[in-house]
Structure 1
Amino acid sequence: MKRILALVATIVLLVSGLTACAPAAEVAETIKIGLNVELTGEAAVYGTPEKLAAELAVKEINAAGGVLGKQIELVIYDTKTDTAESTSNATKLMTEDGVVAVIGAAISGTTMAAAPVANQYQVPMITPSGSNALVTNDGSAVYPFVYRACFIDPFQGLVLANFAADNLGKTKAVVLGSSSSDYAKDLAAIFSEQFAVKGGTVVATEYYTDADTDFSAILTKVQAAGEFDVVFVADYAVRAGLIIKQAREAGIVVPFVGPDGFESPDLVELAGGAANLNDVYFSTHFSALSEDQKVQDFIANYTAETGEAPSALSALAYDTVYMLKAAIEAAGEVDPVKVNTALEALKDFPGITGTISFDEWHNPVKSAIVVQLVDGVQAAATVVNP
């Protein structure tokens, strides 16, 4: 028995000695922020500029000393424009990569797929451009860990209906949209309702699917429906551009109005050339025509870094990184729950897409900009409130 006790004592001493010599748990040298956006697939045209802008913002912050004395590390995943992939990426970022927050996704569907993950693991997630009204809530209660930097679809619908009626003086509208997309259906419904409130009439409403590329039959029906003086296309550039091209070829010369989905470097090509993009207007979050020095500095830095001009998507992602920086600094530590509390309390953040505060639904409170295209180039920008 004495020998057994002696052996046990020896083992305890050895283990104690090893424990004393073991290194302390490593303290993270960087602050990890996840980026979960569309880098391949149909929506890559939206996710790619957001990635470039986020990288620029992180580079600037790190060059200026980082946050809380640490450098930011951007952990990047591609949703592949797939909801299941977005959910999987968000789970990995929050459970394996140890991020303090996640930026993404770029579109509403993939953002909504990842939202439950953020709530489950209590890690704040902010989408730069997911504009569906239900991104941040389930229809009755706000998701406590999900935010957005862009305005919501109902807001765009209101703004664009007001703009068509008040600024363009139009009274008879045609509404077109994809039946495959909640984005399109919601925008079409809100625009139609508000246009009627403003005293206008919707002459015709026509839907197509995301797979359609030939819109001649729909345009023929529209032309037979009666006189109209404006067309509202509730869709992304990939189809809106084709609709504008085919409409111009069919002799439809009235103004076209659309949402932020119009903004794409491919719009000119899709529309059949710059000549077809006159009298075209779309809502956006940012315009290079702004005289704000912050905006001009961002444009210069982004262009120097990437070799191309920034879009509203770039600006939204850039603001998103800086909002997270502000929240981490306000929290005073790298704790997702405390960062979330600070993010929720963010007030009057001086972004390049406007002065931003969050409402009770975690949507930003700010105005919209409606841009006018002349020969495919932004020629004028009007600030519009709902």
Structure 2
Amino acid sequence: MANAMSRRNFVKLSGIAAAGLGGASILTACGGGSSSSDDSSIKVGLMGPYSGDVAQYGLAVRNGAQLYVKQLNDKGGINNKKIDLDTQDEKGDATEAKNVYDKMVEDGVVAIIGDVTSTPSIAVAQASVNDNMPLVSASATAADFIKYGKNAFRACITDPYQGKLMADFAAKQGYKTYGAIFNSGGDYEVGVKDAFVKEAKSKGLSSVADPQGYSAGDTDFKAQLTTIISGNPDCIFCPNYYQDDGKIVTQARQLGYKGVFLGADGWSNIVGGDQDYASAADLEGCYYDCSFTVNNDDEKVQQFIKDYKAEYNADPSNFCALGYDAAMVVMTAIEQVEKDGKYKPSDDDYKQAIIDAISSGSVDGVTGTIKYDGTGDPVKPTLVITFKDGKESVFDTIEAS
């Protein structure tokens, strides 16, 4: 999510879209409709938090997904049918997410792109099993999201995978000791931290202190950092979201720590946009993993960035790219089902055919080639990003094992 759009810009763009289109989707009528897919269109759900505390993530995913569907519809849609996005806000709440899901089922969607954050996504996954509704989340990283049924998939890598990957990376870099600081109330942060600690131990890395937790909303991390820094670690693992991580890095430097910080994809957005959350000097030589950065020279990535900027007048983030790819996974599967021609969107078997097409297919996404190998977790590459001279760059690409 380097040079990513800030929450302020997302909200501003969302407001412009709502004002200009009466609250409707930028693609087709959104929400509130009761018609199901017919011979001229195929209805697909797009859900996420478009208001509330985590709206920046939902709006980013929505922008990416809507861009892909707009491009697809501009080319004629699928089998001469336009994709009708039923786009609804679950406000970052699990109960509201279940209500939105029920409404989408009533509306006759054949698949859903969503949900976005892990807890509402799990609620939707649990509800979707009895309907055999195909789900593709751009960004639900919690391991449990896919455990309820074979209908749920994700475009992102998981919390456990990230923790393991970064511990392996630390060992490869020759680090012998580490400290860790994490939001003890966050499922994401705890999940990544636990996986890192487990893998670090297996790789022979030792912790200089117990992992140091803090509470959501904290802004002063000096007590935890003092405990860690007193052990002189080779690196500090900081698997939180960028708003906290920027403060943590800054305060650690103020306390005299000159070593390396390691992070997970929550670091995306720590530089760029309206605000840098830590200085270039403080971030120099640190690393985190993610699926996407605008500083990737890959031709496909650069074309996506160009298209996104033309649509939204801003650089895309990691979540935007994952939203684009999640939409690609869904639409590619629908295209295969329509090509086979065995079922109509109104048939229950149509949904199972979409699930089968996702399970057996692959897409060449902007976050890498995505395929599935027996589970809803993607087999795809992961980037390790570093900071040099105030800019992010791809340090390494870790292929799926």
TM-score when scaled to structure 1?
A: 0.86
Give yes or no for contact 1:245–1:270 (8 Å, CA) kept in 2: no
- Displacement of 1:374 in angstroms is 2.9
Aligned counterparts of 1:257 and 1:112: Cα–Cα separation in 2: 28
Letter in 2 for 1:94: V
Using the aligned pairs only, state the percent identity. Answer: 32
How many aligned residue pairs are there? 354
- Displacement of 1:199 in angstroms is 2.0
Deviates more, 1:259-268 or 1:208-217: 259-268
- Displacement of 1:254 in angstroms is 1.2
- Displacement of 1:252 in angstroms is 1.6
Unaligned 5+ runs, structure 2 = 1-35, 339-343
The CA deviation string for residues 362-381 of structure 1, in whole angstroms up to 9 with x for no partner, is 11011211111235531233
Deviates more, 1:41-50 or 1:155-164: 41-50
Give yes or no for contact 1:31–1:72 (8 Å, CA) kept in 2: yes
- Displacement of 1:84 in angstroms is 1.1
- Displacement of 1:300 in angstroms is 0.8
Secondary structure at the aligned position of 2:378 is classed as coil
Residue aligning to 1:344 = 359
Residue aligning to 2:374 = 360
Unaligned 5+ runs, structure 1 = 1-24
Residue aligning to 1:252 = 257
Matches within 5 A, 1:34-53: 34-53=45-64
Aligned counterparts of 1:264 and 1:107: Cα–Cα separation in 2: 17
Matches within 5 A, 1:167-186: 168-186=173-191
Q: 1:71 and 1:345, CA in 2 relative to 1: closer, same or farther beyond 3 A?
A: same
Relative contact order higher in (CA < 8 Å, ≥ 6 apart): 2
1:297 and 2:311 correspond: no
Deviates more, 1:116-125 or 1:264-273: 264-273
- Displacement of 1:169 in angstroms is 2.2
Residue aligning to 2:22 = none
Residue aligning to 1:122 = 132
Matches within 5 A, 1:77-88: 77-88=88-99
Aligned counterparts of 2:221 and 2:294: Cα–Cα separation in 1: 32
Aligned counterparts of 1:85 and 1:258: Cα–Cα separation in 2: 31
Matches within 5 A, 1:1-386: 27-95=38-106, 97-138=107-148, 143-166=149-172, 168-204=173-209, 205-224=211-230, 226-264=231-269, 269=275, 271-332=277-338, 333-334=344-345, 335-346=350-361, 348-374=362-388, 376-385=390-399
The CA deviation string for residues 234-264 of structure 1, in whole angstroms up to 9 with x for no partner, is 2111222221122122222211111111112
Larger Rg: 1
Residue aligning to 2:29 = none
- Displacement of 1:384 in angstroms is 1.9
Aligned counterparts of 1:285 and 1:101: Cα–Cα separation in 2: 24
The CA deviation string for residues 304-333 of structure 1, in whole angstroms up to 9 with x for no partner, is 111111122111111111111110111124
Give yes or no for contact 1:35–1:103 (8 Å, CA) kept in 2: yes
Give yes or no for contact 2:37–2:108 (8 Å, CA) kept in 1: no
Letter in 2 for 1:254: G
Deviates more, 1:66-75 or 1:274-283: 274-283
